[in-house]
């Protein structure tokens, strides 16, 4: 691997650090009561990426049948997202389950085009938060489950080697 094309497991430079670009003006609210969630809309995440990480593009990996949905061992589906950089860099893969409105996994045979587009947007935001810092945060608070996949602590500097 070269300096501009690190191993896929590397989260070190040249990947952008976008941990401080979200402001309170970017945060929206959804739901009411115990199901209220603060989140950053995927459109805003995309705009911040365009502005703060020029040349970095989000992709969904193709499965062996050339589709974008991968079949999980339990019969549900997921997508695999990643970013490519302006100099040919490629981030590690980021899997994202295809979920219904209640965050339940969708059986592979029942996945619709709408499920794929919704999952693409979720994967974009989650993958960006995971790889580039907590540029987005979403937390669903409900009696059944809590999703914090897009809430991460700020990355800590690496000690000198």
Q: DSSP for 95-151, please give it.
A: EEE-B-TTSPBPBGGG--HHHHHHHHHHHHHHHHHHHH-SS----EE-SS-EE-TT-
Among 53-62, 136-145, 150-159, where is mean pLDDT lowest? 136-145
Closest residue by Cα to residue 134 from 3, 17, 4: 17
Mean per-residue pLDDT of the chain = 77
Q: What's the pLDDT at 93?
A: 94
Handedness of CA 71, 93, 126, 142 (dihedral sign): positive
- Say whether pTM exceeds 0.75: no
Mean pLDDT for 136-156 is 35
Q: What's the pLDDT at 10?
A: 43
Q: What's the pLDDT at 110?
A: 97
* Helix/strand/coil for 18: coil
**pLDDT for 3 beyond 70:** no
Mean pLDDT for 59-84 is 93
Q: What's the pLDDT at 40?
A: 81
Q: 80 falls in which pLDDT band (50, 70, 90)?
A: very high
């Amino acid at each position: 691997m070269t300096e501009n094309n690190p191993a896929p497991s590397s989260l070190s430079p040249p990947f952008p650090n976008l941990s401080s670009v979200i402001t309170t003006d970017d945060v929206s609210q959804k739901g009411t009561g115990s199901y209220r969630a603060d989140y950053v809309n995927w459109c805003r995440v995309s705009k911040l990426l365009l502005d703060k990480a020029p040349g970095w593009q989000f992709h969904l990996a193709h499965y062996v049948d050339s589709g974008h949905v991968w079949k999980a061992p339990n019969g549900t589906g997921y997508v695999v997202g990643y970013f490519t950089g302006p100099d040919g860099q490629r981030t590690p893969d980021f899997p994202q389950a295809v979920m219904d409105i209640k965050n339940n996994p969708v059986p592979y045979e029942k996945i619709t085009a709408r499920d794929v587009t919704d999952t693409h947007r979720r994967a974009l935001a989650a993958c960006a938060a995971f790889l580039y810092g907590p540029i987005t945060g979403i937390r669903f608070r409900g009696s059944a489950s809590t999703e914090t996949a897009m809430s991460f602590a700020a990355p800590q500097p690496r000690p000198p080697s």
